Amino acid sequence: MPTFALMKKGWMFISVLFLLAILSAFNINGTTHSGPINRPATLFATSNSIGEVSFSHRSSLVSSIDVPLPLRGVSEQILYRKAYVVSYNKDYRIPNWVAWHLPSEHAYGDIKRPGNAWHEDLDVPAPRATVADYKGSGWTRGHMCPAGDNKWDSEAMYNTFLFSNCCPQNANLNSGTWNQIEISTRRWAERWGDLYIVCGPILFRQEHETIGENKVVVPEAFFKVIVCLNNRHPKGIGFICRNTDGNRKKDLYVNSVKQVERITGITFFPHLPKELADAVKNKADINDWE
């Protein structure tokens, strides 16, 4: 074989090895990870979308989030915002889940809720939810990651008004029990330190109501799971609320994180060490938080 051909073949082999090394280093197989960490109080973000991924506003806060495992048989587009990560479902025009990290210093702030802030998320495909879909629908625009958790930064606050962070929600639930849970979560963050939170809609196996020209799906219920790792007794708690008219004490809706996993089919905080995961997922006692 001519010398040039041998050299060319050798360079091709080296190039393949180099490419494989890059792929291995970045774990390019539909999932990307930051490196493992030693402090159990710090989690890390994972992109698990098979579809499009937006890496805009990939902040250090977002990089501390351990997002749920990929969903099976469900449309999923992972989007990174300044303060949260969302798994968006283009078939339903609502999120599958939204995850964020709430440190104590972000529990309160001076940023005011902007007027007429709700806006389309142009990072998701059309058709998508718009203001017009909600007008006259009888349903309110229910934040998943709350505006109240983002008073520390104007951009983070504005991002919460994207419709990809929103679901049609019963008005009394939105201003009642759901609001109770949001307020309590901020109080817990101030008291206990860093919280890691995931919330989203629950869709029963039935035909779903939709609103507007874009047929935005109305969930039958909502979930929220919260873990705290910053003390000698790590803890977790979950809530499940029907999307119905009601304003009862949040204590009535408490579930363990494991129970919420069973009901939703979502695996939360998948990179926690097993012993720590068992400690925060299998027990839920509101008295541990109040």
Q: Which of 209, 263, 258 is nearest to 241 (CA)?
A: 263
Cα dihedral 59/41/196/198 (nearest 10): 90
Count of residues in the chain: 290
- The backbone torsions φ and ψ at residue 224, rounded to the nearest 5 degrees and listed phi first, read -145, 130
| 210, amino acid identity | T
Q: Which of 121, 67, 117, 73 is nearest to 93 (CA)?
A: 121
| 278, amino acid identity | D
Question: Is the distance from CB of 71 to CB of 261 less than 8 angstroms?
Answer: no
- Cα–Cα dist 6/232, whole Å: 62
- Cα–Cα dist 85/76, whole Å: 12
Question: Is the distance from CB of 64 to CB of 34 less than 8 angstroms?
Answer: no
Residue 143: active-site member: yes
- Secondary structure letter of residue 227 according to DSSP: E
Q: Quickly list DSSP for 42-59.
A: ----EE--SS-EE-TT--
Among candidate residues 101, 119, 143, 233, the one labeled active-site is 143
Name the 3-class secondary structure at 162.
strand
Q: Which of 184, 161, 171, 195 is nearest to 243 (CA)?
A: 171
Tell me the catalytic residues. 143
